[in-house]
Amino acid sequence: MDRTFSIIKPDATKRNITGAINKIIEENDLVIIAQKRIKLSTDKAEGFYSIHKDKPFFRDLIDYMTSGPVVVQVLEGSNAVEKYRKIMGSTNPANAEEGTIRKLHALNIQENSVHGSDSSENAEIEIKYFFDEIEIVC
């Protein structure tokens, strides 16, 4: 079993579609083993997306990620990282495959409804950034 880290982003919480997204996650045999709804501070969001700090979209990304609640999650399943990236679809929903979360729900390249870790190493770092071990129940 592997773990990945997920965020249901503000465009999705604002439209009350966290349940619709969780349904897709669960239908694809990923188990939500931890979940909480929080509001990111600017510092927390900047730390999380620090890899993008020199990108032209960075300020907008931080404003967006702090614009409303997010739901942070730990997902468990076989090949969780790769599987979730596949279920999410491409960053830009215009390029996302049919049936993916982003194809079904994302608004545009920024307001793309979900985040998923891009490697197991990053998954471990990102999970630790948001969860204490006692909050993760298998």
Active site residues per annotation: 115
Coil, strand or helix: which one is 109? coil
Binding mask 85-104 vs ligand ATP (x if CB under 6 A, - otherwise)? ------x-------------
Q: 6 to 35, contacts with ligand ATP by CB under 6 A?
A: none
Please tell me the distance from the alpha carbon of residue 48 to that of residue 62, in angstroms, as a whole number.
10
Binding mask 50-89 vs ligand ATP (x if CB under 6 A, - otherwise)? --x----x---x----------------------------
Residues 37, 22 contacting (CB under 8 angstroms)? no
Among 2, 76, 118, 124, binds ligand ATP (CB under 6 A): 118
Among 62, 115, 126, 130, binds ligand ATP (CB under 6 A): 115
If binding is defined by CB under 6 A, does position 116 make contact with ligand ATP?
yes
The distance from CA 138 to its chain's CA centroid, rounded to whole angstroms, is: 20
Give the number of residues in contact with ligand ATP, rule: CB under 6 A: 10
If binding is defined by CB under 6 A, does position 119 make contact with ligand ATP?
no
User: Which of 93, 84, 125, 129 lies closest to 111, judged by CA?
Assistant: 93
Q: 39: Cβ–Cβ under 8 A, 6 or more apart, which residues?
A: 66, 68, 69, 70
User: Which of 80, 110, 81 lies closest to 93, judged by CA?
Assistant: 110
CB nearer to ligand ATP: pick between 77 and 115? 115
Q: Which two tokens stand for residue 33?
A: 């083993």
- Residue 8's beta-bridge partner residues? 71, 114
User: Which residues make up the interface to ligand ATP (CB under 6 A)?
Assistant: 52, 57, 61, 91, 109-110, 112, 115-116, 118
